[in-house]
């Protein structure tokens, strides 16, 4: 039986922004052609932006006429500059999670749509960028390599580090241009770890960026230890294109009859809310129909939802995909999750959404602290992909909602692990093997039955601060987004 929630975007006709803005969209014909993108930016943010009530210039009564709005927009020849000026506390230091670090302007929505499908231009190296002691110098640590990429063809392995690109040493001010700029061919200058003070070792490998798709189901394996079958899954992005591959992994675990699951989200920067809901349903299975996570939009939308479509903001545990395929569920009552400071958004949603239902045991580092979600807003009469303005490829990815769990809670500063453990860049280990340090710690907890109240694990290696990573500099970013029709009035 189809839910009313699925029918609602089709049944209800979009009425432009009447009643929400004093600058009615019926006046679109009065917008000069050179301001059409700026007009879209202001009106889209006025309608959907989570912090719209906090921005004086985005208030519904900020402009009494379209002509007045046009006069304001004339000051911004670059629509991305206008976008930046309209964001809440943009550029300020994070204080209790109340600054918008996450909305972004899209120059080419085709690139963005590909990113949401796991398709991106990359060398294939998933990397962390690590500060060397307290200096400006950094090194890149290879976390894993995407199969089928040029880096895989060049046999670059997890654990390798490099300190230079094209003969230039990496610093905290040049890494974006060197690694994530327009150059398609990069010569990586590798180094030996040298106990935390990397030294170039004379090895250089040139890798090329190509357009490839990454299956986020990276590693799945079952180990039988001390009479217990322990499943391990490294999952690196909540990408809906690969939902069936995720379901197949859980089918494998189900067939193997695992007793415990270690879910590795340490390199997972987030993704689709719907896919997160599916994953939570695969882990459990005994809570179908109950609330996994709720979306809190801006006040005018919450009022509208309350009076018209209260189920729109609900993400419930389910036993089926949208296409009616049965979900493979494990009915677990405990989950072990490996985390890092780069585990963000939808990864944190998994933790937060499961906490009211089962025991969540975290091993690793405090997570990123991203509790808000976005949606792609297009320059179209109803702000959706259909009928997007053919004159350009601009769009926006503004924060439009805050995610909370069944108890109405989230954690704006990230989730602290039960057992603190950071990675040793001199000994990363092989993903999925029982000797890999973080998996080994989880296995110890499972087999020994140790209680996991918050503790720090003694380490005998140098601790480094992660400055950034390849996720943060990719089109998807550390993003959490919804994949359903935008609400319409």
Q: Assess if residue 159 is contained within a domain.
A: yes
Q: Assess if residue 290 is contained within a domain.
A: yes
Where does a domain end: 101, 136, 158?
101
Instruction: Judge if 40 and 175 occupy the same domain.
Output: no
Instruction: Judge if 315 and 239 occupy the same domain.
Output: yes
CATH at 184:
2.30.42.10
pLDDT of residue 107: 96
Q: Assess if residue 141 is contained within a domain.
A: yes
User: Domains in the chain: how many in total?
Assistant: 3
DSSP assigned state of 382: T
Supply the pTM of this predicted model.
0.91
Instruction: Judge if 155 and 296 occupy the same domain.
Output: no
Q: Assess if residue 25 is contained within a domain.
A: no
Instruction: Judge if 359 and 267 occupy the same domain.
Output: yes
Instruction: Judge if 295 and 407 occupy the same domain.
Output: yes
Neighbours of 71 (CB within 10 A): 12
Instruction: Judge if 205 and 223 occupy the same domain.
Output: no
Instruction: Judge if 205 and 238 occupy the same domain.
Output: no
Cα within 13 Å of Cα(375), Cβ side: 23
CATH at 231:
3.90.226.10
Instruction: Judge if 136 and 175 occupy the same domain.
Output: yes
Q: Assess if residue 426 is contained within a domain.
A: yes
DSSP 220-264: EEEEEETTEEEEEEEE--B-GGGHHHHHHHHHHHHHHT-SEEEEE
Per-residue model confidence as pLDDT tens for the chain (489 residues): 434 334 343 333 333 344 444 455 444 559 999 999 999 999 999 999 999 999 999 999 999 999 999 999 999 999 999 999 999 987 554 444 467 989 999 999 999 999 999 999 999 999 999 999 889 999 999 999 999 999 999 999 999 999 999 999 999 999 999 999 999 999 999 999 999 999 999 999 999 999 999 999 999 999 999 999 999 999 999 999 999 999 999 999 999 999 999 999 999 999 999 999 999 999 999 999 999 999 999 999 999 999 999 999 999 999 999 999 999 999 999 999 999 999 999 999 999 999 999 999 999 999 999 999 999 999 999 999 999 999 999 999 999 999 999 999 999 999 999 999 999 999 999 999 999 999 999 999 999 976 555 555 545 455 678 999 999 998 888 899 999 989 987
Q: Assess if residue 470 is contained within a domain.
A: no
Q: Assess if residue 156 is contained within a domain.
A: yes
Instruction: Judge if 243 and 323 occupy the same domain.
Output: yes
Instruction: Judge if 267 and 401 occupy the same domain.
Output: yes
Instruction: Judge if 176 and 92 occupy the same domain.
Output: no
Residue 342 to residues 277, 280, 385: CA-CA distances in angstroms? 20, 20, 30
Domain containing residue 190? 120-213
């Amino acid at each position: 039986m189809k839910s009313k929630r699925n029918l609602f975007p089709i049944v209800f006709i979009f009425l432009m922004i009447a009643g929400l803005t004093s600058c009615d969209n019926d006046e679109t014909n009065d917008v000069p052609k050179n301001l059409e993108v700026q007009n879209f930016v202001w009106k889209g943010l006025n309608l959907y932006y989570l912090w719209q009530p906090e921005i004086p210039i985005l208030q519904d009564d900020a402009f009494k006429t379209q002509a007045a709005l046009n006069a304001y927009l004339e000051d911004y020849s670059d629509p991305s500059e206008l976008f930046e000026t309209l964001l809440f506390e943009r550029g300020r230091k994070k204080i209790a999670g109340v600054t918008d670090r996450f909305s972004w302007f899209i120059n080419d929505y085709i690139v963005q749509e590909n990113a949401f499908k796991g398709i991106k231009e990359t060398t294939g190296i998933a990397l962390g960028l690590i500060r060397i002691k307290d200096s400006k110098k950094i090194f890149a640590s290879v976390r894993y390599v995407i199969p089928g990429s040029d880096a895989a063809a060049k046999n670059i392995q997890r654990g390798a580090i490099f300190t230079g690109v094209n003969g230039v040493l990496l610093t905290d001010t040049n890494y974006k241009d060197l690694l994530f700029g327009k150059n398609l061919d990069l010569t990586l200058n590798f180094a030996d770890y040298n106990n935390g003070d990397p030294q170039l070792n004379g090895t250089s490998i040139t890798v090329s960026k190509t357009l490839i798709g990454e299956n986020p189901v990276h590693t799945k394996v079952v180990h039988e230890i001390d009479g217990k079958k322990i499943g391990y899954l490294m999952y690196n992005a909540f990408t809906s294109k690969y939902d069936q591959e995720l379901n197949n992994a859980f089918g494998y675990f189900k067939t193997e009859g695992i007793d415990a699951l270690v879910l590795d989200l340490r390199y997972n920067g987030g993704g689709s809310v719907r896919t997160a809901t599916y994953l939570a349903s695969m882990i459990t299975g005994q809570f179908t129909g109950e609330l996994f996570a709720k979306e809190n939009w801006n006040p005018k939308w919450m009022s509208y939802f309350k009076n018209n479509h209260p189920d729109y903001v609900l993400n419930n545990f389910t036993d089926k995909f949208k296409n009616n395929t049965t979900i493979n569920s494990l009915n677990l009552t405990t989950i072990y999750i490996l985390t890092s400071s780069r585990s963000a958004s939808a990864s944190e949603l998994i933790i937060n959404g499961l906490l009211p239902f089962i025991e969540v045991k975290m091993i690793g580092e405090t997570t990123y602290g991203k509790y808000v979600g976005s949606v792609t807003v297009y320059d179209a009469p109803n702000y959706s992909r259909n009928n997007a303005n053919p004159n350009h490829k601009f769009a926006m990815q503004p924060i439009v909602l805050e995610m909370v769990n069944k108890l109405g809670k989230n954690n704006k500063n990230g989730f602290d692990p039960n057992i603190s453990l950071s990675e040793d860049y001199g000994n990363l280990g092989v993903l999925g093997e029982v000797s890999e340090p973080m998996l080994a710690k989880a296995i110890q907890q499972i087999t020994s039955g140790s209680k996991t109240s918050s503790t720090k694990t003694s380490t005998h290696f140098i601790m480094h601060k992660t400055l950034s990573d390849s996720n943060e500099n990719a089109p998807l970013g550390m993003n959490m987004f919804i994949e359903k029709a935008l609400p319409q009035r």
